[in-house]
Structure 1
Amino acid sequence: MGSTTGTQSQTLAGIDIPGTALVTAAIDFARQHLDDVTYNHIMRSALLGFAVADKSPDLQARDREVHALAALLHDISWDTNGTFASADKRFEVDSADAARIFVEQQIVQGSTQGASGNGWRPARLQLLWDAIALHTTPSIGMYKEVEVKATGFGIFLDFVGVAGAPPGALTDAEWDAIVAEYPRAGFRDGVKSVMCNLCRTKPQTTYDNFVGDFGEELVEGYSRKGKRAFDFMTATVE
């Protein structure tokens, strides 16, 4: 599915991404709400995803605007003031909900923001939501629509580097240019801090996913015991 938003583009760190009003607003929105570590991460994730997807035959035919918005807003619930964090949902769901609301609000404000509602039907909003909600679950996401796969893959590359890309899809020069523009300083410790905070503040959202790994290793008093599927099945199923 190709983008329905025209051919507007912008080049950041040598990588072409959509330059639509919505994408530009999303970058500004992320910069407003995220600290430097998380903002640099979402920018690298978007640019790495586009660098690889535009060269990969199985990822090229995608809605580029959806891909860009999903990558740029995939961690918006890590905002510094907790504006988009719920008390009872996984952070991926919080970010997906916030991204959908952001697009809907931009469309409503289109006369002043330059955003267009053309093409933003419920199915496209759901695609955006899915791409964000599933970005940490590749065992499902990689079997979904191409926009979901491209989003998740770009985020994955920010953790594993050039070696994780298909041969020839991401060059050292592209990586270096992206990292120079959006540095990685503090990334590992920043992610650990976010994950541990989730385990402390809403542990019930972490028991069935990778976030709980950080809790078990780094958070005093955290335990999945009694909360796992194994525990439930052992206690309730004859």
Structure 2
Amino acid sequence: MDTLEAKRPTAAATRLLAGVPVPDTKLVNAALAYARENSQPYLFNHGVRSWLFAVLIAEARKTPHDAEVLAVTTLLHDIGLEEAFAGPLRFEVEGANAVRAFARNEGMDERRAQLVWDGVALNSTPSIAFYKEAEVALATAGIGLDWGGIGYEALPEARIEAIVEAFPRLEMKKRFAHAICGLARSRAGTTYDNFAREFGERFVPGYKAPSTVDFFLNSPFRE
């Protein structure tokens, strides 16, 4: 049977992290180490919380999924915000390229590595990501819950609080907004078609990004 479900690996071992059972595999532990090494503390904690929330959402919905793909995606989804991974593309794509390279280097096959890429690249576009494969949708749900409280009511508050206590937010609202405004200042061209534009318009004096309306109206076609 050539289906994704048939190819999903079963974790040989699990462990508890903030009271949540998670896979205890070489790949997941490598992703944790990579995230810790390459992320500021507030972003590392955000990634771990997002992962744990995604695991609990999958449990509540009884959604079959590839636990390793979900772990790698959520743990590393914001790595494109770090200076070491900066580039000319929007930060989600720079991050997705880096995380896919990490996954391949760790021996993940191409199909699973591409799922990781999709989850990272689309994590801030829920209007698309929620309708992708289970791993992408779950990652987006966990990230959205931690980032903006989206779906907060879907999980018991006591479990949410336990995760936040274990991995504190470390002024995430202030630090994340600062990071996105930095993109709006230094790479405005990467922000026109994503949520970063809204941060630039609200917080960055003189911010101006390309407009999709201009692309459309200035296209080289005669009417």
Q: TM-score normalized by structure 1?
A: 0.85
Deviations 1:147-169 (A, max 9, x none): 000000000000233x724x6x4
In the TM superposition, residue 75 of structure 1 has moved relative to its aligned partner by 0.8
| 1:198–1:206 contact (8 Å) kept in structure 2 | yes
1:16 alignment counterpart? 21
- SS of the residue aligned with 2:16? strand
Q: Taking structure 1 as reference, are residues 41 and 20 closer, same or farther at Cα in structure 2, changes over 3 Å only?
A: same
| 2:16–2:22 contact (8 Å) kept in structure 1 | yes
- Paired with 2:24 and 2:97, the residues of 1 have a C-alpha distance of 23
- Paired with 1:158 and 1:31, the residues of 2 have a C-alpha distance of 18
- Paired with 2:143 and 2:10, the residues of 1 have a C-alpha distance of 24
1:66 alignment counterpart? 69
Equivalent of 1:130, from 114, 118, 128? Answer: 118
1:150 alignment counterpart? 138
Matched, 1:222 2:221: no
Root-mean-square deviation (CA), in Å? Answer: 1.6
Deviations 1:43-91 (A, max 9, x none): 110011111111103xx21111100110001011223xx22121x1111
Letter in 2 for 1:66: V
Q: More helix by proportion, 1 or 2?
A: 2
- Paired with 2:114 and 2:89, the residues of 1 have a C-alpha distance of 17
In the TM superposition, residue 5 of structure 1 has moved relative to its aligned partner by 4.9
1:106 alignment counterpart? 106
Deviations 1:153-198 (A, max 9, x none): 000000233x724x6x411110110000111131101110111111
- Paired with 2:109 and 2:26, the residues of 1 have a C-alpha distance of 17
Letter in 2 for 1:90: R
- SS of the residue aligned with 1:89? coil
Matched, 1:183 2:168: yes
Say which structure, 1 or 2, has more relative contact order (CA 8 Å, 6+ apart).
1
Tell me the number of residue pairs that the alignment of Structure 1 and Structure 2 aligns: 216
In the TM superposition, residue 8 of structure 1 has moved relative to its aligned partner by 1.9
Gapped runs of 5+ residues in structure 2?
A: none
Identical columns (%): 39
2:9 alignment counterpart? 4
Gapped runs of 5+ residues in structure 1?
A: 108-119
2:51 alignment counterpart? 46
- Paired with 1:62 and 1:154, the residues of 2 have a C-alpha distance of 14
In the TM superposition, residue 6 of structure 1 has moved relative to its aligned partner by 3.1
Deviations 1:181-220 (A, max 9, x none): 1111311011101111111121111011110111111112
2:97 alignment counterpart? 97
- Paired with 2:147 and 2:109, the residues of 1 have a C-alpha distance of 33
In the TM superposition, residue 11 of structure 1 has moved relative to its aligned partner by 1.1
- Paired with 1:121 and 1:35, the residues of 2 have a C-alpha distance of 29
| 2:118–2:136 contact (8 Å) kept in structure 1 | yes
- SS of the residue aligned with 1:62? coil
- Paired with 1:15 and 1:84, the residues of 2 have a C-alpha distance of 30
